[in-house]
Chain A
Amino acid sequence: MAKKKTTKKTTKKTTKKSTKKSTPRGSLVSKKRDQETIGKIRDLATSVAKSGLAQREPRIEIPIRSINNMKYNARKRILEMGSNTQQRELFNVGQARKFMQMLLVSKGCRDLIQAEKTLSLRGMYYMTLHTIEGTSEKTFNEQGESDTILEDLEVTIDGLREELHVFAKKRGTMVGNITVIDNGDEINCRRMGTGGYAIPSICEPNVIQFKDCDADFILHVEKDTVWSRFNEDRFWEKHNCILTEGSGQPPRGVRRLLHRMHKELGIPVYCLLDCDPWGHYIYSVIKQGSINLAFESQRMAIPEAKFIGIRAEDYDRCKLTNDVKIALNERDITRAKQIMDYPWFADKKHWKKEIKTMLGNGFKMEVESLITKDISYVSEVYVPQRLKDGDFLD
């Protein structure tokens, strides 16, 4: 009896909570938002049709997604998209194809929303892929083409990819002292074995809710290999934290989740990345948002994120050997200089010093280089020491 009761209780509890916080399974995006998105898509198509019928040149205004149309909001400490737009015209040889693709993708998304289903980027590519009647030309030659068009569509109708029911390939893993509810399923991230919890592409509140969290901080590492090291050493248990990984440049899902945990649970984020321009840029993206998706910074950037390492000084500090050095090539050097010139690094003396030191060293280092000291040097010595000393770059 007693047993029965307890099970009843727990089930009751969970159902209560799930009905409270999450929408029922099957609809990842709320109906209301769906209707809004469909309306926006319809407006786009109507404007094209109207100008066509009125013998005016059909054109679509698209906000520009490049560094020229992006500004750093020093107050909010995030990147924001500017107001510059570009015209996409049908009667322009260079743009006609893209114009057509844009309408195809719009239609694809509309159909997807109406069907209340979601598709991956690749799925969207196939959904809109066909041979144009009377020719041998395909609507899309490769997925890359439809991916950019989708981004164009996002900024044009000011809707997010998630609202268009499209998600990217899953990337990124999480483990730690937290329990989340993913589409109604309770997931205890303390009991994820060696594999960890695969962070979904869509991490909006209606899909993922946080149930309980005891963690003190989040440690985000660059790659899967480093993450496995930490997980195997039960780092998150010893230091009471959440351990995430983004497989290089973290996808939107990972960034969104980090942002939400940081904001909603009020825990700091620390990043352990390579000492090279790419690692530095990953940090910059987590912190201020990316140039390409500047319109999403508001929902993704974590201006308070800190950079633990690995740092240029670590070669001497940790007495590493020559073997770990990877020479900087031309591209690395230009990239590093670019990053140094970004306005959001402008007043960060420590960062400028860090990049200068790296350039002065003439080599870069990966986090894995610490393994030359000892297999678990990174998780048992390096990171704990940095955390203890509060020695971060900001």
Chain B
Amino acid sequence: MWTCGGFHRKGLERYLVGHTDVPNQMATTTSKKKTARKAAKGRVSAETLAKGQREISVSEFFAKNRHLLGFDNPRKALLTAVKEAVDNALDACEEAGILPEIHVRLLQKDESRFKLTIRDNGPGIVRAQIESIFGKLLYGSKFHRMKMSRGQQGIGISAAGMYGLMTTGKPVHIISKTSRRTPPHDVVLKIDTSKNRAEVVSEKEDPKSDTLFPGGTGTQVVIELEGRYQKGRQSIDEYLEQTAIANPHAQITWVTPTNETIEFPRAVEELPEEAKEIKPHPKGIELGTLIQMLERTESKSLSSFLQDEFSRVGQRKASDLAQRADKLSSKTITPRSRVSQLGHAEAECLYKAIQEASIMAPPTDCLVPIGSRALLAGLLKEVQAEFFAAATRPPTVYRGNPFQMEVAIAFGGNLSSDESSRILRFANRVPLLYQQSACSSFKAVVETSWKNYGLAQPRNSLPVGPLVVLVHMASVWVPFTSESKEAIADYDEIRKEMKLALQECGRKLGTYLRRRKQMKKQSERRGIFERYIGEIANSCHSIAGTDKKKLYDALLKQAERKTKEADQRLDLDGKIVSAKRLEQDEDVIILAERQASIGEDENDGLFGEDMPPTTKRRTTAKKSRSKKKKKKTS
């Protein structure tokens, strides 16, 4: 289903607090001053003030605080709009069990005005739902549940539509087809911010649009909005590229404002498993939430409340919690206590009891990691490297929330070797492009000592070298540092898991690099000997009349034995791990043909002329890629 942005419960609360409090407080403080002044002159009373105080709609609040939604500046606004639409499209396709095919097109109308078209092959949207999804903020399917999903990046497609309407005055145009038999409905919507409601501008059933959806179903959204398109870091291109890496099951087509078509092909033919919804874990909630849950629950007794509303609480654990709470409380609390009888003080005791008790960690089968194989497939198609390794950690828990870390690295090949390595951060398969240095993953990468794995790393910074590090956090609740949801908060448990996964990949890289160096050294050694043996055999033949062929063969045999001996010696030192072990590792891919020569620092400079060209392939690879693009556009 297309939804209007996936808020988590906590996020929602935070927003609502902000929404109700901030403007009101502002109003009261300013009016207090006025009252003080005016009261002195006897002009204003509480009643007159009350007239000026009225409810503010959610949409109105966001219209005025658009930076909270990621629409701070024209460039980011464009990216956020694409992001919301693509995230929604991917979620919708996956939930319907359809392999996603997403088409993104950005058309530049004038310098700062763009027309954004996003089309998917998802299940489509029922006519009745269209207004709610595209016209109302805070409406959606991901809203009231504890489940791993993408929708965490803001307020969703309706906000993008609202932004478009505000900046260009153009309504949102939606075409959706829900089944093969029915024609697509074509709806143009406008959002009334004061009422948080959509207004239909025009509506029709349009069989002509059938060609847009060859798969039989799908949705297309067109938003006209103000923005600025720029390539490079934090661009739409980067976002789509990273989305393609984390979602190798998706096929994405991207038509840039310069009318270039870039294809991000599908690399995996299976859809990820569907994430299971779970109930919150007792240790993961705060007191306020507990009170709210107590108020809203349909359960009658405390015991059934605890068992029904939380995961990992059975009958025994429920009575244990009730007993603990009883000890802390002045009022008696039993498992059979009626929920409606529990006041604030009792709730607090219950909260404390939960913190004391040891409760089994939440179930982790609710998490769907990308998986090492799929991660490698994603990286492989988008990153021109020679070595790939991935590590998926077992699921763990922080503050009652299950989560799982995945790390993949790509090394060498055409990656630039004299820059800091690049970190690709993902939360529930969604790329995080802003606030890198505030992110827990950044800290984890910096804290990992890459020197052990054969890379240069200046103090307190990222490793330098042809390295791309991908960090993915899968969780039912990804903790972000701020409302802008661009960086993962730095919980000890999270950072620890990240580091463990990074180290796992790093070790594989280290093994590979050592082996590559050793192999190169050995082949160089063998090469040196082989090169000179011929000359020596010739000279000896000429001077002493020795049989040329015999001597050559004898020396060659010695050379081979010599170099082999050296291999073994290193094995005994324990420095060189058997070559086979790395190749048999399922989570490692090595592309021998992309192997560039080892960096200059490793080269002893003896035979500079014979070294293969280091980075020349990069340009050729780029050329061929751009040629492809051109072909497609033409």
List A residues at the B interface (Cβ < 8 Å). Answer: 41-42, 44-46, 48-49, 52-53, 55, 57-58, 90-91, 93, 96-97, 99-100, 103-104, 106-107, 110-111, 132-137, 139
A135 and B610 in contact, given A55-B557, A97-B528 (Cβ under 8 angstroms): yes
List B502-551 residues whose CB lies under 8 Å from chain A.
524-525, 528-529, 531-536, 538-540, 542-544, 546, 550-551
Contact of A106 among B543, B551, B554, B607 (CB under 8 A): B543
A103 and B535 in contact, given A45-B540, A96-B529, A135-B610 (Cβ under 8 angstroms): yes
Measured in the bound complex, the distance between the Cα atoms of B528 and A99 in whole Å is: 12
B609 at the interface (CB under 8 A from A): yes
A137 and B543 in contact, given A90-B529, A97-B532, A132-B535 (Cβ under 8 angstroms): no
A134 and B531 in contact, given A45-B544, A52-B551, A53-B551 (Cβ under 8 angstroms): yes
Which of B534, B551, B555, B610 has the most CB atoms of chain A within a 10 A radius of its CB?
A: B555
**Other contacts beyond A45-B546, A46-B540, A136-B610: 13, CB < 8 A:** A45-B543, A49-B546, A52-B551, A53-B554, A58-B555, A91-B562, A96-B528, A103-B543, A104-B539, A110-B543, A111-B542, A135-B531, A136-B609
Q: What are the residues of chain B within 8 A of A44 when measuring CB–CB?
A: 543
Tell me whether chain A's interface is mostly helix, strand or loop, or mixed: helix
Measured in the bound complex, the distance between the Cα atoms of B529 and A57 in whole Å is: 12
Contact of B540 among A49, A133, A134, A137 (CB under 8 A): A49
Q: How many A-B residue pairs have CB under 8 A?
A: 88
Q: What are the residues of chain A within 8 A of B558 when measuring CB–CB?
A: 52, 55, 57, 91
B12 at the interface (CB under 8 A from A): no
B489 at the interface (CB under 8 A from A): no
Q: What are the residues of chain A within 8 A of B525 when measuring CB–CB?
A: 93
The answer to whether B544 and A132 have CB atoms under 8 Å apart is: no
Measured in the bound complex, the distance between the Cα atoms of B531 and A139 in whole Å is: 10
The answer to whether B535 and A45 have CB atoms under 8 Å apart is: no
- B contact residues, total (Cβ < 8 Å): 28
CB closest chain-A residue, reference B546: A49
Measured in the bound complex, the distance between the Cα atoms of B533 and A135 in whole Å is: 13
The contact sample of 7 A-B pairs, CB cut-off 8 A, is A45-B546, A48-B540, A53-B551, A91-B562, A93-B524, A103-B535, A104-B535
B559 at the interface (CB under 8 A from A): yes
Q: What are the residues of chain B within 8 A of A90 when measuring CB–CB?
A: 529, 532-533, 536, 555
**In the assembled complex, how far is the CB of residue B557 from the closest CB belonging to chain A, in whole angstroms?**
7
Measured in the bound complex, the distance between the Cα atoms of B535 and A133 in whole Å is: 8
Measured in the bound complex, the distance between the Cα atoms of B250 and A296 in whole Å is: 81
List B residues at the A interface (Cβ < 8 Å). Answer: 524-525, 528-529, 531-536, 538-540, 542-544, 546, 550-551, 554-555, 557-559, 562, 607, 609-610
**In the assembled complex, how far is the CB of residue A309 from the closest CB belonging to chain B, in whole angstroms?**
47
Measured in the bound complex, the distance between the Cα atoms of B538 and A110 in whole Å is: 14
Q: What are the residues of chain A within 8 A of B543 when measuring CB–CB?
A: 41-42, 44-45, 103, 106-107, 110
Q: What are the residues of chain A within 8 A of B531 when measuring CB–CB?
A: 132, 134-135, 137
CB closest chain-A residue, reference B609: A136
CB closest chain-A residue, reference B530: A134
Measured in the bound complex, the distance between the Cα atoms of B551 and A157 in whole Å is: 22
CB closest chain-B residue, reference A139: B535
Measured in the bound complex, the distance between the Cα atoms of B558 and A239 in whole Å is: 68
**In the assembled complex, how far is the CB of residue A87 from the closest CB belonging to chain B, in whole angstroms?**
15
Contact of B539 among A91, A107, A132 (CB under 8 A): A107
**In the assembled complex, how far is the CB of residue B278 from the closest CB belonging to chain A, in whole angstroms?**
61
Contact of A46 among B533, B534, B546, B550 (CB under 8 A): B546
Measured in the bound complex, the distance between the Cα atoms of B566 and A93 in whole Å is: 12
A99 and B536 in contact, given A49-B544, A137-B607, A137-B609 (Cβ under 8 angstroms): yes
Measured in the bound complex, the distance between the Cα atoms of B565 and A57 in whole Å is: 14
The answer to whether A49 and B532 have CB atoms under 8 Å apart is: no
Which of A48, A52, A58 has the most CB atoms of chain B within a 10 A radius of its CB?
A: A52
Q: What are the residues of chain A within 8 A of B540 when measuring CB–CB?
A: 45-46, 48-49, 52, 103
Q: What are the residues of chain A within 8 A of B528 when measuring CB–CB?
A: 93, 96-97
A53 and B539 in contact, given A90-B555, A91-B529 (Cβ under 8 angstroms): no
Measured in the bound complex, the distance between the Cα atoms of B120 and A92 in whole Å is: 64
CB closest chain-A residue, reference B535: A100
**In the assembled complex, how far is the CB of residue B610 from the closest CB belonging to chain A, in whole angstroms?**
6
Measured in the bound complex, the distance between the Cα atoms of B532 and A220 in whole Å is: 46
Q: What are the residues of chain B within 8 A of A133 when measuring CB–CB?
A: 534
Measured in the bound complex, the distance between the Cα atoms of B543 and A44 in whole Å is: 9
Top 5 nearest A-B pairs (CB, nearest first) are: A45-B543, A100-B532, A103-B539, A49-B546, A45-B544
The answer to whether A137 and B610 have CB atoms under 8 Å apart is: yes
Q: What are the residues of chain A within 8 A of B538 when measuring CB–CB?
A: 107
Contact of A107 among B529, B533, B542 (CB under 8 A): B542
**In the assembled complex, how far is the CB of residue B521 from the closest CB belonging to chain A, in whole angstroms?**
9
Q: What are the residues of chain B within 8 A of A100 when measuring CB–CB?
A: 532, 535-536
The answer to whether B544 and A46 have CB atoms under 8 Å apart is: yes
Measured in the bound complex, the distance between the Cα atoms of B528 and A389 in whole Å is: 64
Q: What are the residues of chain A within 8 A of B539 when measuring CB–CB?
A: 45, 103-104, 106-107
Q: What are the residues of chain B within 8 A of A93 when measuring CB–CB?
A: 524-525, 528
Which of B536, B542, B610 has the most CB atoms of chain A within a 10 A radius of its CB?
A: B536
